[in-house]
Each structure stands twice: as C-alpha cells, then as structure tokens.
Structure 1
Amino acid sequence: MITSVKNERVKAWKKLHNRKERNNNQTFLIEGFHLLEEAWKSDWVIREIIAEEAVELPNWCQNYEVERVNEQVFELITQTQTPQGVAAVVEMKEALEREGNHLLLIDSVQDPGNLGTMIRTADAAGMDGIVLGHGTVDVYNDKVIRSTQGSIFHIPIYHANLSNEVIELRKNGFKIWATALQNAKKYNEITIDEKVALILGNEGAGVKKELIDAADEIVTIPIYGRAESLNVSIAAGILMYYLKR
C-alpha cells in the first residue's frame, strides 16, 4: 500500500490533472464507482485502479492492477469534494471513422460543465458522434468527465478542424445546421434531411462566422420570455431531440 504523497506513482497520478501531461501520456483519471463501471462496461482500457485501503471493490476489478493507498494519498489525487475512495487511470480513445447520420459539432465551448452536459445529452438523444473543434475545453478535463455521467464512454468523439470537417461532411451528403441569432430560421420550421450535422458555438461569441457562412441552414430557438439567450447545452438538447424525433 502506498502511504507517501512523495511516491513517484502518486506524483504521476497527480500530473494527470494537467492537460499537457494527459496528452503526453494518452491517459486520464476518473473517479467514483459509476464512472469506473461505465469505463469497464464500454471496453475502454483501464491501466490501473486506485483505491483507498478500506474500500471494497467489485469482483471484476480483480482482472486489473489495483493499487491501494491511504486516505492522505487519495485526497491528493482526487478532484471531487466527496470522494468515494476509488479512481482509475484510463487510456484515451479517439474515434476514427465518422459513422451515422446525426453529428454534433462543437465550436470553442469553454465551460467544462457545458461540454459534459452536451456529451451526456447527445448520448441520450441518440446522436451518432461528436466532433470537437479547436478552442474547445479538453474533453478529458475532470469536470467534463463528471458532467458526462459516463456518456464519454458511450458515444464516439472526434477532434477536427471544423472548417475542414464541414467540407468533408457536405461531400458525404450532410446538411449543415449552424446556430445563430441573425438571419436565422426557427429550428422547428426547417425540414430535417436524412443526414444533419449541427454546429453549436462558444458561450459568448457563438459559432464562428466562417462556419455560419458555410452552413446550409442557420437556425435559432425562439425565446418567449424575457431571457436574453439560452445556455448552449440547453440549446443543444432542444435541437438534438428535434433532429431525432
């Protein structure tokens, strides 16, 4: 059992809080029984499981390397307020081929909670994949992962230059929808084509102009109350469920 916060393994786990270290190692940390089980059920590669000494693990954990640590060590590596005493190092997994007819393209969304909620909602709505553009918060950020509630392990996620992605998608028969306020049509007045890629943008700036200009449809969600705008993750949910109706 590891009891020293100066242990080299502990230092390596702690470094995974940093995006650069995650990318260098192609691994990330997850915490809690739910996320651990979702990673296992979804056949993601679990490098090792980290558990406090008194924590009882499911039987299937016997198939993995388990490192026991004391409470002090676990508190050092945890990023949750009420840790469950179990974490794991998981290998990153980038989807390769675009499949399906409904994709969510995310342009420079910065808030981890928003991105995590969008991933979770895309999973629930039955979207076929998510493409993350440059400037978007790291999908392996701890807050993003927790906000997905395990959906990060269920839906294919890609990274791409969205301008290039739109060109390729149009070649493959996709209609491109971009969200905006100006020169837009109400989303529920637009005919849904067989293949649709939906672009949502940054919380403050919205979708980049070059992507709006490349879109087949510019869509908006009408606001009937006095709110100035909708949260981007809420808007994404409304539009994704409309596409999948």
Structure 2
Amino acid sequence: MITSLQNEKVKKWMKLHKRKGRNQTGLFLAEGFHIVEEAYKSGWEIAEIIIAEETACPDWGRHLPIVTVSKKIMQHITQTETPQGIVATVNIKPSTEVLGNTVLLIDAVQDPGNLGTIIRTADAAGFSAVMLGEGTVDLYNDKVIRSTQGSLFHLPVVQTNLQEKIPELQKRGYTVWAAALQDADSYESLRVSEKQALIVGNEGSGIRDEIIHLVDQSVSIPIYGKAESLNVSVAAGILMYYIKS
C-alpha cells in the first residue's frame, strides 16, 4: 500500500490535475465508482485503478492493474470532499470525428459544470457528436468529468476550430443554428433540418461575432419572466430536445 506523498506514483497522479500534465502523459483521472465503471463499460482503456484501504475493488475491475493507497493519499489525489475510494487513470482517446445527423458545437464555454452538464444532456437527447471550440474549458477537467456523469464516454467529443468547421458542415448538408439573444427568431417558429448543427456560446459574452456571421440561423428562447437570459446548459438542453423532437 502506498502511504507516502513523496511516492513517484502519487506525484504522477497529482500532475494529472493540470491540463499540462494530462497532455504530457495522455492520461486523465476518473473518480468515483459510477464514472470509473462507465469508462470501463464504454471501452476506454484504463491504465490502473487506485483503491483506498478498506475499499473493495468492483468485480469488473479485478483483472486490471490495481494500486492500493492509504485514505490520506486518496484524499490527496481526489478533488471531492468525500471521495468514494476509487480513482482510475484513463488513457485519452485519440480525437476521431464520427458525425451523425445532430451535432452540438460549443464556443468558449468556460465553466466546468456547464460543459459537463451540456455533454450529459447531449447524450440524453441523443445527439451524435459534440465539438469543442477554442476557449472552452478542458474536457478532462475533473469537474467536467464529474458533471458528465459518464456521458463523456458515450458519444464523440472532439476539439476543433469552429470557424473552419462550420463551413465544412454546411457543405456536408447541415443547417447550422446559433443560440443568440439578438437578431434571432424563436426556435419554436423554425423547422428542423434533417442534418442539424447547433452552437451555444460563452456564459457571459455568448457566441463570438465571427462565428455568428457564419451560421444559417440565429435562434432564441422566449423569456417570459424578468430574467435577462438562461444558463447556457439549460438553453442548450431546450434547443437540443426541440431539435430531436
């Protein structure tokens, strides 16, 4: 059992809390029984399972490399106040683009909870792919992973340049909508295309002008109360379910 914070494995795991460390190693940390199991069941390659003392490894993981650590070490390498006692180091999958008829594009969403919730909702709504543009929070940020509740492992999520990707999608027959507040038509008045892409943007500034200028249609969600706008993850959910309905 590993009990020292100076252990080389512990130092390596701690580096995975930063994007730089994840990029250098090609690994990220998945925390909690449900999320680790979803990674395994979805065919992602688990490098090793880290188990806290007095915590039983699930049956499905017993054939994988297992490292036992003290509760102190588990508390040190996890990012939750009450860790469940299991963490996995998971290999980052090479970015492969698999497109279906419904694609979500994300422009500079910076809150990890929002991004994770959007990915989870895209999975639930049956969207076929999610594309992350520049300025978006790192997909393998621990809060993003926890907020996806495993949906990260269920559908393709790729990094891309939106200014290049939008014209490419249009050439391939997609109609591209941008969720916006100004110069936009209510989503309920619009007909969904057979191949539909939707863009949502930054929490504070929305979708960048250079992106808006490329889309086929700006769409809005009616505000019936006094709120100025909706949270981006809520807006994304409403529009994705409308597109899939």
Q: TM-score, normalised by structure 2?
A: 0.98
Matched, 1:145 2:162: no
Distance in 1 of aligned mates of 2:146 and 2:6: 27
Distance in 2 of aligned mates of 1:179 and 1:100: 20
The CA deviation at 1:194 is 0.4
The CA deviation at 1:225 is 0.5
Distance in 1 of aligned mates of 2:176 and 2:13: 41
For the 8 Å contact 1:94–1:158, the answer to whether it is kept is no
Q: Which residue of structure 1 aligns with residue 18 of structure 2? A: 18
The CA deviation at 1:118 is 0.1
Q: Which residue of structure 1 aligns with residue 161 of structure 2? A: 161
Q: Which residue of structure 2 aligns with residue 58 of structure 1? A: 58
Structure 1 stretches of 4+ with a deviation exceeding 4 A read none
For the 8 Å contact 1:52–1:69, the answer to whether it is kept is yes
**How many residue pairs align between the two structures?**
245
Structure 1 window deviating more from structure 2 (89-98 vs 140-149): it is 89-98
- For the residue of structure 1 that corresponds to 2:213, the secondary structure is helix
Q: Which residue of structure 2 aligns with residue 229 of structure 1? A: 229
What code does the residue aligned with 2:63 have? N
For the 8 Å contact 2:201–2:207, the answer to whether it is kept is yes
- C-alpha deviations, 1:142-188, integer Å up to 9, x for none? 00000000100001101100000001101100001011111100001
Q: TM-score, normalised by structure 1?
A: 0.98
Matched, 1:220 2:220: yes
Distance in 1 of aligned mates of 2:166 and 2:214: 8
Distance in 2 of aligned mates of 1:126 and 1:187: 19
- C-alpha deviations, 1:8-60, integer Å up to 9, x for none? 00000011001111011111001110001101110100000000121011112
- For the residue of structure 2 that corresponds to 1:214, the secondary structure is coil
The CA deviation at 1:211 is 1.2
What code does the residue aligned with 1:182 have? Q
- For the residue of structure 2 that corresponds to 1:55, the secondary structure is coil
Q: Which residue of structure 2 aligns with residue 31 of structure 1? A: 31
For the 8 Å contact 2:116–2:145, the answer to whether it is kept is yes
For the 8 Å contact 2:97–2:156, the answer to whether it is kept is no
In structure 2, list runs of 5 or more residues that go unmatched. none
Distance in 2 of aligned mates of 1:10 and 1:37: 22
Percent identity between matched residues is 57
Q: Which residue of structure 2 aligns with residue 185 of structure 1? A: 185
What code does the residue aligned with 1:243 have? I
The CA deviation at 1:63 is 1.4
For the 8 Å contact 1:29–1:90, the answer to whether it is kept is yes
Distance in 1 of aligned mates of 2:94 and 2:51: 27
Q: Which residue of structure 2 aligns with residue 89 of structure 1? A: 89
Q: Which residue of structure 2 aligns with residue 47 of structure 1? A: 47
The CA deviation at 1:95 is 3.9
Matched, 1:78 2:78: yes
For the 8 Å contact 1:53–1:69, the answer to whether it is kept is yes
Q: Which residue of structure 1 aligns with residue 175 of structure 2? A: 175
The CA deviation at 1:97 is 2.7
What code does the residue aligned with 2:160 have? A
